Structure 1
Amino acid sequence: MTTDLTEITVVGGDKTGLIARVTSLLFERGINIEDLDQAVRDDIFRMTLHADTSEMVCKPETLRENLHDLGDELGVDVQVRFPSDRETQQIAVLVTKESHCLERLFQAWASGDLGADISVVIGNHDDLEPLANKYEVPFHDVGDEKGVPDEAELLDLLEQYDADLIVLARYMRILSPDVVFRYEDRIINVHPSLLPAFPGASAYRQAVEEGVRIAGVTAHYVTTDLDQGPIITQRAFDVADDATAEDVKESGQPLEAEALLEAVRLHLNGDVSVHRGRTRLREAREDNYQLGLSPEARKANPDRPVDGLGEIVAGDGGESESQRDD
């Protein structure tokens, strides 16, 4: 979706007539719906709608109030994000105990190289509170003694800090549909494997046990399917013959931080879009950037032979060039 469209998200218990009530309200106010997507998971209904509000016959504040009132009537949560709401983007970072990804995000933010503000760090443990304090960013621990998060408190904090993007910087908990649906295509996670290989826990150990020679990391949008969201960026590295899971982890962590940071920048700049479960660049960039390998890595790959391109036939019954060289 282009950034000049208003985004409306509806999340709550599934019931008949939700879509009709919302779309009718928009129609009555002269709003043109450009795209609508809806899903139900674990009895939680989610609708994400993008609309052109440039010619609506009411003020933005009135539309927001009308939609919130409708949500209260229907027992669902309705969020409205106008294009102007996204001018200064706010990031909420979710963490557990590993610091490397959060540290890299903070470094980019402190140098003015992030393109948004890190407004809050939310953990399910308090281990990284000192790091947040170092950068004078509010820290909230929403986990119990076992690290189980209070998602109601989490949602309240995300709303309080007006999060435009949620970054999971090695947040070792699965988010429920109630959270994911509210922030569809606005939650980015980094996973320590080249997805779709080795999803779930202990990905580095899985890679070692399977004897891979090349391992990697993946930054992706979060969906309700574990580690199956649209892939944004990936990084790869060699695995030595005698490497342990700890060796692989040590090689992968710096790449986790870089892949995550790159994915965050692409999202904040509006460079990537999601269509049918895949990401793509919205348009060609002046630096010839493309998702995938760096230009240097692509140059290192051979480009021949390719079926049908290396064979030369010299007339009827003639020998190919490769045969004449024998």
Structure 2
Amino acid sequence: MTRQYTQITVVGDDKTGIIAQVTTLLFERDINIEDLDQAVREGIFRMTLHVDTSEMSCTKDELRDALAELGDDIGQDITVRFPSDRETQTIAVLVTKESHCLEALLEAWADGDLGADIEVVISNHDDLEPLSDHYDIPFHDIGDEKGSPDEAQLLDLLDEYDTDLIVLARYMRILSPNVVFRYEDRIINIHPSLLPAFPGAEAYRQATEEGVRIAGVTAHYVTTDLDQGPIISQRAFDAPADATPEELERKGQPLEASALLEAVRLHLDDAIYVHHGRTELRDGVDREAYQLGLPPEMDSINPDRPVDGLGKVLSDD
């Protein structure tokens, strides 16, 4: 499951015959389909194929041209990403008004710690333009007077900057399937709760209302199901009984930045992959090089016994 396959993505209006025409084209060029997944949301069709192109009977450019021509014929947007296309990564960061996650990403990028380039910051408000300008990163406000984003403009910008990875750094809008489907497993979001607990809006308030003793944050891949995408990294912190949502937020924001940055690094390092709806570390990855959850020293604090098995020991005696 950790092999580097060529990825083909098909997105467009739902109609019959799409799967047959695409798979036939691949068969005719000796391309073996290893995995195929398709879905329809709000009338938008998406199909993702992972294919083995090692023995294909055409060049990369010929395959791109053939799929683009087919896409024009059937009214679908078809993109191809060969393993070599992923060697140089470009990032688009989407933000609203909160600065802490954007600041962490820009600092890491400026220090050369990301191994990728932040090409653009896109927002539905102009509040964070000065921060983007400070790092000399292009900033685009695609929101109207109410902050509603223009997704057509968003897609144009993502295409213009040849975006490999989209990072939602507290972007307070839900992306439509038309965006999510085009960047499957290439959109990372940070959510202020230990998912799957407290999805949706005002997660810190939900945590205080439910009286949790431990709160936290989660970085995850984005899917069309709100806050239900594969979890990448999490951080936890103590939630005092008398804490207000605002106090939890102040404690959580540094951890939001930390978890998001770690998730971005895991993705860029190609250290993880998604299998059956969850992320897995690739073979050979040094787990100690990353903080996926609680720090290792927690193992020495938590008790390690008792555990099930005493009944069997006594019966053996």
Category of TM-score, reference length = shorter chain: over 0.9
Q: Determine the structure 2 residue equivalent to 1:299.
A: 300
Q: Does 1:259 align with 2:259?
A: yes
Q: Matched residues in 2 for 1:221 and 1:42: separation?
A: 20
* C-alpha displacement of 1:288: 4.0
- Match of 1:240, SS? coil
Q: Return the alpha-carbon distance in structure 1 between the equivalents of residues 133 and 163 of structure 2.
A: 19
Higher alpha-carbon deviation: 82-91 or 51-60 = 51-60
Q: Is the 8 A contact 2:2 2:283 kept in 1?
A: no
Structure number with greater Rg is 1
TM-score normalised over the length of structure 1:
0.93
Shift of 1:241: 2.5
Provide closer, same or farther for how the CA distance between residues 21 and 61 of structure 1 changes in structure 2, counting only shifts above 3 A.
same
Secondary structure (helix, strand or coil) at the match of 1:127 reads coil
Distance 1:253 1:176 in 2: 26
Structure 2 length normalisation: TM-score? 0.95
Read off the aligned partner of 1:43 and give its amino acid letter.
Answer: G
Which residue number corresponds to residue 135 of structure 2? 135
The percent identity for this pair of structures is 73
2:314 aligned counterpart, secondary structure: coil
- TM-superposed CA distance for 1:222, in Å, is 0.5
Give 1:141-290 correspondences, 5 Å limit.
Answer: 141-286=141-286, 288=288
2:153 match: secondary structure: helix
Aligned equivalents of 1:108 and 1:295: distance in 2?
23
Letter in 2 for 1:149: P
Q: Distance in 2 between matches of 1:196 and 1:31?
A: 38
In structure 1, distance between residues paired with 2:2 and 2:278: 17
The amino acid that maps onto 1:8 is I
CA displacement 1:5-46 (0-9 Å, x = unmatched): 211100011111101111111111121222111111111110
Tell me what 2:314 maps to: 313
Preserved CA contact (<8 Å) 1:165 1:187: yes
Q: Distance in 1 between matches of 2:209 and 2:192?
A: 15
2:212, 2:97 → 1: CA distance?
Answer: 27
Task: Write the distance in 1 (CA, Å) between the matches of 2:80 and 2:313.
Answer: 62
> How big is each residue's C-alpha offset from its partner over 1:136-179, in whole Å with a ceiling of 9 and x where there is no partner?
11111111011100001101111111111100000000000111
RMSD (Å), alpha carbons: 1.7
Note if contact 2:13-2:44 (Cα within 8 Å) is conserved in structure 1.
Answer: yes
Is 1:73 equivalent to 2:73 in the alignment?
yes
CA drift of 1:201 comes to 0.6
1:265 alignment partner, SS class: helix
What letter corresponds to residue 298 of structure 1 in structure 2?
D
Aligned residues: 316
Q: Distance in 1 between matches of 2:118 and 2:245?
A: 32
